[in-house]
Amino acid sequence: MKKNIFLASSAALVISAVMPVGASAMNFTDLTQYDETTQQAVDYLVEKKVVHGTSPTTFSPRQNIKRGQVVKMLGKYLKQAGMTVPTDWATKARFTDVPTTTSDQELLQYAALVYDSGIFVGSNGQLNASGNLTRENVALVLNRLAVTVLDGKSLIDYVKENQLATNIKDLQSVKEEAREAVYAFNALKISNVDNFNPKGNVQRIHFASFLAKVLQVTDKIKLDLVPEEKPEEPVRPEVPEEKPEESVKPEVPEEKPEEPVRPEVPEEKPEESVKPEVPEEKPEESVRPEVPEETPEESVKPEVPEEKPEEPVKPEIPEETPEEQEASDNVDWEDELPEEVDSPLELPDENQAEDTPTYYFNFEDVNNVEIISTTANKVVIQHATYGEVTLNVTPDLQKLFSEVDLLKNANVSLYVEEDVIQSVNEVVIKNNGTHTTPINVDGSLFEELTDITVQATYANVVNFDNHYGSVKIVAPANAVYTVENYTFDEISSSGLLNITFTESVDTEIIIDAPTATVTVASGVTIDTLAPKNNLSIIVQPSAIVHDVYVATHISSLNVSGKIENVTAETPGAFTITGTGIIDTLYGAATTVYVQLNGVTVNYLAVDETVENVTVQ
């Protein structure tokens, strides 16, 4: 029964046949650069409510897809195909990190469905819903989907039975568990690149394309498996029906009179026997009646040299019947010539497409490669397999790649089509800069979803208002940074960090460094500072810091300028030094030391457990 259900549903998944050209489930403006087949794949899955956009007008094709998103997509497809969600989905968790109490109940039920179907089994009992999915794991998962759809038969089985070949070059870099699935992906043209890049993350556009192609392939496999025996019976009675065709065969002799037309080709050949008469009988028409009597082609060969003046025409004419040459020397020949040219030209084009000849990378991610040199139009990278490779740059990214100092020695992960960089998925900025010429890291150069890690020693970080959660500062020791605004995932350093904020920040700033000095520039307001270690805070005139939260293991705070509130959770002694002012000090420290002639604390609100407050 399950087999019939899937056959009925997957029969509609031959996208090129079902979806009319130009059909669109949603008007995704960021898919226009992709070919029509890819757009149709997305549109079909959206119409089936298997996938959806990130907004009514965007699909975010280059965003990495998350494991939890894949579980939901596959679960929705299985449910639409006729499978039911397990009845105990709400009471029995399939993954330890997706408990029955999770707020995402949709994920909980689809996780139960794909797990019980054997399609998505997780790792060490966990789903890791927010994690990325690698290309080799996608091959594994979608092969398991095929097993369910084909009632036990996998893509791997089909490839082996039909002895299909692959052109994949990096198969040995695929983990052993997924190697056969990746081989099948390539052999069945679900993935059409030579280098599969198994460890690369899968983007939303790639997963949509992979899923649609897998469903198409399973549909074709079913057509190979199911109908083969059934049509054989009607074919047998058709055999006698072909017998009357034998009566057509006598009609062939009716076409035989056309054969004398063929000998018209040698009309020039018999001229040998007429050679003494050729000058008198130049009109070949008088020769034509004699041609049928002299069918042997041997007489034709000697005539060819006599027509050498017509050789410019002959080299093209022999490709087809010479009847056309003599029947109409100019008009018919010119009409047929383009037909002769078109047919042979189509074959090389198809062969070239299958060979994927000249590109290093095509429709694939190129992960963690170092930039050797860059201009606006050309980028030279160091690749582990190919060595130095030169790539072109799409016009939208030329402004970024013209920043030579910014990208010098940077490590990048790219999305490349036909050796042209289409997007930057991740960049690690390594150029140190100097105290006088710091590296200028400008967020306006990057797409909002680009993961950016800044490892420079001297840097100005600006224009990152719209990059929340995708930017990190991981500085070396003795780093000096100026930050225009803060929407970062973290700010950390392996040693002393000096950081100045030149614009107001209304979110919590977490500083993770052994020792750090934070300067708040004049006129800037900081909502909350949360250092993980001892911290010095310099608040310049007219600047404001509302709150400072000091973790339990921090023993001291140096203050210059005014801070409205300091909360110290230190269970032991806590020392405040400097020349600043703290309006209110909250805390649970058993002893609070405040430097004499230094910091002024206007109001002290401590726990009842505090034994004493000492002013040094």
CB atoms within 10 A of CB 251: 10
Q: Under a CB-based contact definition with an 8 Å cutoff, are residues 438 and 405 in contact?
A: no
Token digits of residue 36:
């029509």
Give the C-alpha separation, 453 to 429, whole Å: 6
Give the residue from 322, 406, 420 showing the smallest Cα distance to 366: 420
Report CA dihedral (239, 242, 244, 250) to the nearest 10 degrees: -130
pLDDT score, position 606: 66
Q: Under a CB-based contact definition with an 8 Å cutoff, are residues 80 and 48 in contact?
A: yes
- Position 551 pLDDT exceeds 50: yes
Give the residue from 454, 489, 426 showing the smallest Cα distance to 63: 426
- Position 489 pLDDT exceeds 80: no
pLDDT score, position 15: 36
- Name the range with the highest mean pLDDT among 52-61, 92-101, 123-132: 92-101
Mean pLDDT within 19-24: 38
Give the C-alpha separation, 399 to 406, whole Å: 12
Q: Say how many CA atoms lie within 13 Å of 380 toward its Cβ.
A: 8
Mean pLDDT within 222-234: 61
User: Cα Rg for the chain, rounded, in angstroms?
Assistant: 38
Number of H helices, E strands in the chain: 18, 24
pLDDT score, position 18: 34
Percent of the chain topping pLDDT 70? 69
Q: How far apart are the first and last CA of the chain?
A: 84
pLDDT score, position 229: 53
pLDDT score, position 463: 85
| Predicted confidence (pLDDT) per residue in 513-529, tens digit | 999 999 999 999 998 88
Amino acid at 128: N
Give the C-alpha separation, 136 to 176, whole Å: 10
Kind of pairing between the strands at 581-587 and 600-606: parallel
Token digits of residue 105:
């109940």
| pLDDT mean across residues, the chain | 76
Long-range contacts of 573-576 (CB under 8 A, 24+ apart): 574/550, 576/601
Token digits of residue 546:
């509302």
pLDDT score, position 130: 83
Give the C-alpha separation, 127 to 71, whole Å: 9
401 CB burial (10 A radius; 0-12, 13-18, 19+):
buried
Write the CA distances from 466 to 189, 264, 470, 557, integer angstroms: 38, 79, 9, 32
Amino acid at 390: T
Give the C-alpha separation, 27 to 119, whole Å: 31
Token digits of residue 424:
């930057």
Give the C-alpha separation, 30 to 401, whole Å: 22
Cα torsion angle, 279, 282, 288, 289, sign: negative
- Position 340 pLDDT exceeds 60: no
pLDDT score, position 441: 92
Percent of the chain topping pLDDT 90? 32
| Predicted confidence (pLDDT) per residue in 254-297, tens digit | 544 444 444 444 444 444 444 444 444 444 444 444 434 444 44
**DSSP-assigned letter for residue 603:** E
- Position 456 pLDDT exceeds 60: yes
| Predicted confidence (pLDDT) per residue in 70-97, tens digit | 999 999 999 988 899 999 999 999 999 8
Long-range contacts of 578-584 (CB under 8 A, 24+ apart): 578/536, 580/537, 580/539
- Name the range with the highest mean pLDDT among 225-239, 563-577, 588-602: 563-577
Instruction: Using alpha carbons only, give the angle 113, 118, 123 rounded to the nearest 5 degrees.
Output: 100
pLDDT band at 596 (very low <50, low <70, confident <90, very high): low
pLDDT score, position 11: 34
Give the C-alpha separation, 385 to 170, whole Å: 9
Give the residue from 539, 559, 546, 570 showing the smallest Cα distance to 601: 559
Amino acid at 257: P
- Position 556 pLDDT exceeds 80: yes
Q: Under a CB-based contact definition with an 8 Å cutoff, are residues 409 and 431 in contact?
A: yes
- Position 474 pLDDT exceeds 60: yes
Mean pLDDT within 481-503: 85
Token digits of residue 367:
């992960």
Give the residue from 199, 142, 146 showing the smallest Cα distance to 175: 199
CB atoms within 10 A of CB 22: 9
Cα torsion angle, 310, 312, 317, 318, sign: positive
- Position 469 pLDDT exceeds 70: no
Q: Under a CB-based contact definition with an 8 Å cutoff, are residues 268 and 306 in contact?
A: yes
pLDDT score, position 360: 85
Strand extents, DSSP E, 287-429:
364-374, 378-383, 387-393, 411-417, 420-429
Q: Quickly tell me which residue has 């054969």 as its tokens.
A: 259
**Bridge partners (DSSP) listed for residue 535:** 516, 557
- Position 104 pLDDT exceeds 50: yes
- Position 236 pLDDT exceeds 60: no
pLDDT score, position 417: 86
pLDDT band at 476 (very low <50, low <70, confident <90, very high): very high
- Position 613 pLDDT exceeds 80: no
pLDDT score, position 10: 37
| Predicted confidence (pLDDT) per residue in 125-138, tens digit | 889 888 889 999 99
Give the C-alpha separation, 136 to 182, whole Å: 6
Write the CA distances from 426 to 77, 128, 363, 470, integer angstroms: 31, 21, 17, 9
Give the residue from 518, 614, 525 showing the smallest Cα distance to 557: 518
pLDDT score, position 325: 42
**DSSP-assigned letter for residue 134:** B
Give the C-alpha separation, 511 to 224, whole Å: 62
pLDDT score, position 266: 45
Q: Quickly tell me which residue has 């199911």 as its tokens.
A: 226
Give the C-alpha separation, 375 to 176, whole Å: 40
The rounded Cα 77 to chain-centroid distance in angstroms is 21
pLDDT score, position 103: 79
pLDDT score, position 607: 62
CB atoms within 10 A of CB 344: 9
pLDDT band at 577 (very low <50, low <70, confident <90, very high): confident
Mean pLDDT within 299-317: 45
Give the residue from 118, 111, 103 showing the smallest Cα distance to 67: 111
